[in-house]
Amino acid sequence: MDFKPNKLITSDSVLFFDMDGTLVDTNYANFLSYREAVKLVRGKDFNIAYSPHQRFNRSFLKKTISNLIKTELELIVREKEKNYNSLLHETKLNNEIVEILHKYFNTNKTILVTNCRKERALATLNYHGLIDKFSNFFFRQFSDNGNRKINKFQNAILKLGISPNLVVLFENEEIEIINAKQAGIEIINPITI
């Protein structure tokens, strides 16, 4: 779809931006962070090739290392978080999306709505000089019982007290696009990302 800002983004529009994979490509830094953490915790490198189309996360780690015990996993995740900041230079901006953010942050509400942990998101945005481009931030949250992530879009809409009809969303993950539609958001990725 061709991006027509005058038709899709009005002065009332609220722009929601996801971070990982949408605003900033963090996959390679994330992968390297996990690789270093595994090496530190297990004392050896694990032999897996980087894939730009696969987000390396806890679930993927469990599948990759079959005999991984819970305490090792928790330690690897903690070390991964520590390593990440030293690898920020391996992250890359999605210039087309960042250009939209730069164009509208002074005239519209621009909201970061991400499942990223707060510390990592802020470090990434700070590294790329984007923190001051957002009027609000919504980071990873879990339900009260802590078992599942909540719909980040429903949460943001509720806490901001806005209509989902005002939201223009920039998101790259299919499951999150489904969640956005469930939250009533209709304008999703008005440009191809």
Q: Note whether 117 and 38 are same-domain residues.
A: no
Same domain, 124 and 176: yes
| 142 φ/ψ angles, rounded to the nearest 5 degrees | -115, 160
Count up the domains in the chain and report the number: 2
What pLDDT, on a 0 to 100 scale, did the predictor assign at position 154? 95
Residue-wise pLDDT tens digits, 113-153 = 999 999 999 999 999 999 999 999 999 876 666 556 789 99
Q: Hey, what are 132's tokens?
A: 């001051």
The answer to whether residues 104 and 81 belong to one domain is no
Could you tell me which residues come within 8 angstroms of residue 147 by beta carbon, excluding any fewer than 6 positions away?
none
* Boundaries of domain holding 52: 27-90
* 177 shares its domain with 98: yes
Whether 193 is covered by a domain: the verdict is no
- Provide the mean pLDDT of the chain: 89
pTM, two decimal places: 0.88
119/129 Cα distance (integer angstroms): 15
